Amino acid sequence: MAAATAGTVTPAATADSPNGTFQQVAGFGANPGNLAMYTYTPAGLPTGAPLVVALHGCLQTASDYYQHSGWAKFADLYGFTVVFPQTGSTNNSLSCFSWFDAAKDARGVGEAASVAQMVAKAESLYGSDGHRVFVTGLSAGGGLAADLLADYPDVFAGGAIDSGLPAHCATTQSAASGCQNGDQGLTPAQWGDKVRSADPGYSGPWPRVAVWQGTSDTVVRPVNATELRDQWTNVWGLAQSPTSSRSLPAGTTEELYADPSGRPAVAVYSVAGMGHGLAVDPGSGADQCGASGSYFLSTICSSYYTAQFWGLTGGGPTTPGLPAPAGLTASAGGPDSIALSWQPVSGAASYQVFRDGATAGTTTGTSFTDTGLAAGTSYTYTVAAVDASGTQGTKSAAVTASTSGSAPQCFTDNNYDQVQAGRATQSGGLTYALGSGQSMGLWNIFVTHTLRQTGPGYYVLADGQC
């Protein structure tokens, strides 16, 4: 990569926008990831404006992403700077960002550190607002964007992963294809732990994350969007069921997962029939953007809806006044309870405790014991302070703890074998769970159910729950 004089900016050979300039910036730091930095800044942009980092996909360049993604249009319209990092064949034969390499995508090292240095440089050059920095990326760029959100939650207020991967899904290149193509079989808490362990000791607030995925993507399979949803809803301490959904153009479904204040923390956009690429919608309409091309697919303008989700269009909801309680800890209190404690929040009249995203109880103190739980089972908790008016503040970082004892056993088998094993009975050609008597359907080898044993000789239906 050619080096320019430290601290200078050099206009790139690509065409400039009529309202600003796309240019290379040199001397942005030690650059351990061997990346190049390009920026687009609208003419006359005042200080204190937001900053967006946009990461290209494999076989692409910063210039490709600048010209096709639509981010320059919205930088002009809404007033923010865009940083376009660029990798190349020296780093990866396909010019992919190294989202799968633990030596390059972790806090303080490699490409992740280089991007963080670019953010600091842009803030210095353009006076960007350090509290409104966002990162987005396509494919491998999306994978690195997810890693950056986990590595630097203190830097990025939000992110968007387009046809990308969960944060730190793979730590070696050999494991990358497995992440792209298959379900990793991790629970939401295990996915969330990958984020929490990326910057140990960080307790929030967490970035707000949008996920974009085509249903016909065969390069990064749609299961990655589900895993991303599980990962970031767990980090936020939310359930995996959307609080709202709506239909958007081009067969797109938007699912929102709101925090307790009602503000969306996670959004999942599923584009029906779209393959692998960034969703764009060329045209001059307010909700149109970009240019079609290789891996830029003419469907819907994802950059427009992402900017809305981040609140860059103005009029976005504000963060609740009371901060998140710090120092939340959880430990087993026995086979049916978990004890929690946290540090007090000034101005709090009470605290609301959430278990797996649902309210578990309230207390006026800084400790709480959750009872009536299943033995040997893991639960994820968050806590929020509530002021005297009843307004709930920001949720704490999530913690996970398990009750003591052994978890109830589960058995998945066809109805015939369930009866043969003594976990069910049959009568009149139908099958019933032993003890609970729940109907399981026809007594044959073609109908399969999962049964959970909750006591001696007592089984209940638990399909999809074990």
Residue with tokens 């159910």: 449
84 forms bridges with which residues in the sheet? 38
Residue with tokens 């946290």: 342
Cis peptide before 205 (omega within 30 of 0): yes
Which distant-in-sequence residues (6+ apart) come within 8 Å of 415 by Cβ?
424, 426, 431, 440, 441, 442, 443, 444, 445, 447, 448, 449
Q: Rounded to whole angstroms, how far apart are CA atoms 68 and 66? A: 6
Q: Rounded to whole angstroms, how far apart are CA atoms 190 and 375? A: 19
Task: Give just the sign of the alpha carbon dihedral 132, 136, 141, 144.
Answer: positive
* Beta strand spans in 292-356 (E): 296-298, 329-334, 337-341, 350-355
Do the beta carbons of residue 257 and residue 264 sit within 8 Å?
Answer: yes
* Among 139, 203, 303, 396, the one annotated catalytic: 139
Do the beta carbons of residue 242 and residue 257 sit within 8 Å?
Answer: yes
Query: Helix axis angle, 188-196 relative to 223-236, nearest 10°?
Result: 70
Taking alpha carbons only, the member of 13, 12, 14, 37 closest to residue 23 is 12
State the first-to-last Cα distance of the chain, in angstroms, to the nearest integer: 51
Task: Give just the sign of the alpha carbon dihedral 439, 443, 447, 453.
Answer: positive
Q: Rounded to whole angstroms, how far apart are CA atoms 451 and 434? A: 9
Do the beta carbons of residue 205 and residue 218 sit within 8 Å?
Answer: no
Taking alpha carbons only, the member of 152, 236, 221, 141 closest to residue 188 is 236
Q: Rounded to whole angstroms, how far apart are CA atoms 324 and 236? A: 11
Active site annotation includes 174: no
Q: For the chain, how long is the longest CA-to-CA vector?
A: 85
DSSP state, residue 7? T
* Beta strand spans in 311-415 (E): 329-334, 337-341, 350-355, 358-363, 367-370, 378-386, 392-395, 399-402, 410-414
Query: Which tokens in the block code for residue 234?
Result: 């767990």
Alpha carbons within 13 angstroms on the beta-carbon side of residue 150 total 29
Residues labelled as active-site residues:
139
